[in-house]
Amino acid sequence: DGGITQSPKYLFRKEGQNVTLSCEQNLNHDAMYWYRQDPGQGLRLIYYSQIVNDFQKGDIAEGYSVSREKKESFPLTVTSAQKNPTAFYLCASSPRMGKLFFGSGTQLSVL
């Protein structure tokens, strides 16, 4: 089945630690995205990538990093510089100019 797989479903971060959220898609989509969702809020764009080996900052990129070495994969690293990382993180992909397809999300919490 085609889709977007995010892992892990739940993740805990200790202070000063970097953590990486995985996102894999087998839809052959060019574009991939990371969004952050806080309780009762909409989604805010962290980073996006339109093509392999290229990515752009979204509205709230500070404290995060990404890579796009393969078309299928777009991992997000939450660095220690992100002081308020607790949120629900959603990865999405889209064909060019198409709608976004979302993964099941990762809930990140701070210990």
The DSSP result for 48-103, as a single string, is EEEETTEEEE-TT-TTEEE--SBTTB--EEE-TT-S---EEEEEEEE-TTS--EE-
Using rule CB under 8 A, residue 99 touches other proteins: yes
**Contacts with other proteins in 59-98 (CB under 8 A)?**
90, 94, 96-97
**Between 17 and 59, whose beta carbon lies closer to other proteins?**
59
Nearest to 86 by CA among 111, 57, 61: 111
Q: How many residues does the chain have?
A: 111
**Contacts with other proteins in 12-51 (CB under 8 A)?**
30-31, 33, 35, 40-45, 48, 50
How many chain residues bind other proteins (CB under 8 A)?
Answer: 26
Query: Contact positions toward other proteins, by CB under 8 A?
Result: 30-31, 33, 35, 40-45, 48, 50, 56, 58, 90, 94, 96-97, 99-105, 107
